[in-house]
Amino acid sequence: MKTWVPSDSVAEVLSDLPGVECAVYDGTAPMPEGIEEVEVWIPPLATVPDVPGTLARMTSLRLVQTVTAGVEPYRPHMPEGAMLCNARGVHDAGTAEWAVGAMIAVLREFPGFVDAQRRGEWTYHHTDVLADSTVLIVGYGSIGTALERRLEGFEVEVVRVARSAREGVHALEELPSLLPRADVVVLLVPATPDTAGMVDAAFLARMKDGAVLVNAARGGIVDTDALIAELKTGRLRAALDVTAPEPLPEGHPLWSAPGVLITPHVAGSTPASGRRMLRLIRAQLSRYLAGEELINVITDSY
């Protein structure tokens, strides 16, 4: 079974599975030979060039197993008869931990204090605090659940929002009435046509004065120009691990906007994610070889 994998470490973890023939393709080196024979493709973390063309040439493809929770580069171009599975759960710990750290950093003004430290200035003043605040999680899936666990003990109220309502979770349609009460709004929704640009000027206008927007989802979910306009007024603050465009180019106005903390899409890039990714891939390929039901299969409802 010809399998393209993103790294030597993935090839090694699959090396003793019977019949699995691995070739490493990380998206930067030339493609290995035999693309038309590839049955399983595990793409790298960074999207490879020309995903539509690559998938079209994989005429024997039966499974794409991503190492990311998001599958937007692949989903629209999947060939008939091939399954798409994501890495749900792999990045939960890292992303949830980043979100907690980011909201605390912005509320407690850590970036400003770091700047003052560089200048050698003692800038004592009171800051905001996470305690007694309301944290609105938009996109309450596995990462949202992990985030709520990490918020236990911080003395906050957690409000949950998902695509559809269930016990203890509000539907997306209820967002307009929920936004004004939130001190922190955390974005964890997948990138889909429905979520593209959902955080627009109207969304941001409904957020309460002084609230913090935390984006650990995808940059395209937020209207960047609308966010910059709010940041410049000082009414809102933000912590962004993802941006639109991405990478954020030098000189982009978001870099210099007040009240924003930006990290370069690193929330899930941790050793814990790496270990869990290897375990997931091995377990998934073992299921595939045994003809068992796969996990994390992407359907029309995502």
pLDDT in tens, 193-213: 889 999 999 999 999 999 999
Residue 246 a catalytic site member: yes
Active site residue 265: yes
Q: How many angstroms separate the first and last alpha carbons of the chain?
A: 27
> Which residues of the chain are under the pLDDT cut of 70?
300-302
**Cα–Cα distances in Å, from 239 out to 42, 48, 119, 122, 138?**
30, 27, 23, 24, 15
Q: What is the pLDDT of residues 209-264, one digit of tens each?
A: 999 999 999 999 999 999 999 999 999 999 999 999 999 999 999 999 999 999 99
215 secondary structure, DSSP code: E
Active-site residue among 97, 246, 252, 287? 246
Confidence (pTM): 0.91
Candidate list 91, 218, 237, 276, residue with the active-site label: 218
Question: What is the amino acid identity at position 36?
Answer: E
Q: What is the pLDDT of residue 229?
A: 98
- In the chain, DSSP assigns E strands to 2-5, 21-24, 40-41, 63-65, 83-85, 134-138, 157-162, 170-171, 184-187, 212-215, 237-240, 260-262
